[in-house]
Amino acid sequence: MPSRVYESSDDWDPLSNAISPPPDESVQEKEIRIKQELEAKQKSDAIDEDLNRQRAAEKKGPKPVRVLLLASGEGKSTFLKFFKLMHDPKAFSTERASWRAVIQLNVVRSIHIILDAMTHPAQPRHDTRAMSKDISSTSSSPFSGEIPLPEDTSDIEPGLFQIRSRLSSLLQVEDLLTRQLTPKDYSEVGTTQLAPIHPTKHVPTELAINSSVPWKQKFDRLVGKGDTERIIIDWDDPNDPGKIIHACGEDMIRLWKHPLVQQMLEKQNLRLEEMAGFFLDSLPEITAERYLPTDEHILRARLKTLGVSEHCVKVSAGSDIGSDWRIFDVGGHRSLVTAWAPFFENNLNAIIFLAPISAFDQVLAEAPKVNRLEDSVSLWTSIVANKILQHTDLILFLNKCDLMAAKLVSGIKLKDYVVSYGNRPNDFESTTNYLRKKFAGILKENSPLPRTFYCHYTSVTDTLSTQKVIASLKDMLMRDSLKHSTLLL
């Protein structure tokens, strides 16, 4: 087939044609367009200048400490918030208004899980392992549309029906909070499908925000420009979700503490306390009329992010040397986690790997047949065996030790999910030592080069011990950074 010969009339640029103004543009429309283009160019130039300044500063000063956070589930954002709280408390404080919305959304979704469970109150208990795997990742899961009527009302007393009816207004709160957290100009915001619990139930979804979305800026208007410790929120805003949450506060507390509700959750094996973003035990504080989240509440808040995000933190070390930290958080589907490795070749001080060991009896949301602990082991194996990362230090955090201890005390046995554990004692010390040796053995067997095994135990609620671990980690990495910069012998 002969090639087409373009005449001069065919010589056109499709991009220029796409961005060219419409032929029927009015004078007023032209002025608006030119003004918008000028503003966009000014923003672009400001970003370029800022990047150039950063590059020049990095060339003159010491190299920043670069750390990559990895985990097969939640935990990375909690570590990052811990780090910011310790080393940049002023910036951490300015984010309270934005995390207030996230916490409120976490609470509403937990209530929705209970209301949905009431739709199937007579559902019999399944095998503990199977049921745990099916529902383990439904934390903070919203339900779209109306809450369906229960299939069988024989096990539900009339008082609970009245509470259920009054709490239906929380659907509006969920929609409002979701819209507040998802700026309309960004199309990369969506939800991730979670595993269905029961064929006849609604399939829950979890809000997932792309890391490029500046969702916190949405709440800048709520924060005062003065002292960052005195955050000013427009409490008279008629669209503030806190008003409805406050009005529903007593009903939510009664619902959560009701003995029949607790029996129903136990029957359906719904362990809300173990789910990320659990705040139902803090309802009196969160439903207060003028609620502002505490540091502890912010650390426990759950918001799933997608993509790679970079966080810059100034770390005080007695001097300016090594004070810049760049922490990278890789989020998204587990199959894409290792795709970033080539972008960090010879450009990382350490990888911090968080393994939630309390999830030994749970499964992944996106793969209901895959055990979460098994997935952590699999991801750890692929990371330590990666030749691109063979010169990078690996630091393992065996995370959520407090939840792990609580499960073991309640009678859940590790050997029922980790066959190789055998008949060893089912106490915290024995199980954690076994898992620690398991991860250490994988590093020794699969690492292309010999590497030191760094391992720490961390908990969700023990903030003091976690701060000590992070402080120790900071000192180690800064000394390592100085050695590589030939500033410390």
400 is in an annotated binding site: yes
Picking from 176, 302, 247, the residue whose alpha carbon sits closest to that of residue 293 is 302
402 is in an annotated binding site: yes
Give the 3-state secondary structure of residue 385. Answer: coil
220 is in an annotated binding site: no
In degrees and rounded to multiples of 5, residue 447 shows phi and psi of -70, 130
294 is in an annotated binding site: no
User: What's the longest Cα–Cα distance across the chain?
Assistant: 83
301 is in an annotated binding site: yes
CA atoms 272, 399, 336, 327: torsion sign: positive
426 is in an annotated binding site: no
Contacts 24+ apart (CB under 8 A), 233-236: 233/97, 233/100, 233/290, 233/292, 235/289, 235/290
194 is in an annotated binding site: no
302 is in an annotated binding site: yes
> What gap in Å lies between CA 360 and CA 412, rounded to an integer?
10
178 is in an annotated binding site: no
- Listed in sequence order, the DSSP H helices in 119-258 are 128-135, 158-166, 170-181, 242-247, 249-257
455 is in an annotated binding site: no
317 is in an annotated binding site: no
Residue 28, Cβ density class (10 Å: 0-12 exposed, 13-18 middle, ≥19 buried): exposed
Is 192 in contact with 304 (CB distance < 8 Å)? yes
> What gap in Å lies between CA 359 and CA 275, rounded to an integer?
10
The Cβ of residue 185 has, within 10 Å, a number of other Cβ atoms equal to 7
Picking from 359, 362, 304, 303, the residue whose alpha carbon sits closest to that of residue 135 is 362
- Locate the DSSP E strands across 364-470: 393-399, 454-457
Residue positions forming the annotated binding site: 299-305, 399-402
Residue positions forming the annotated binding site for GTP: 299-305, 399-402
Residue positions forming the annotated binding site for Mg(2+): 305
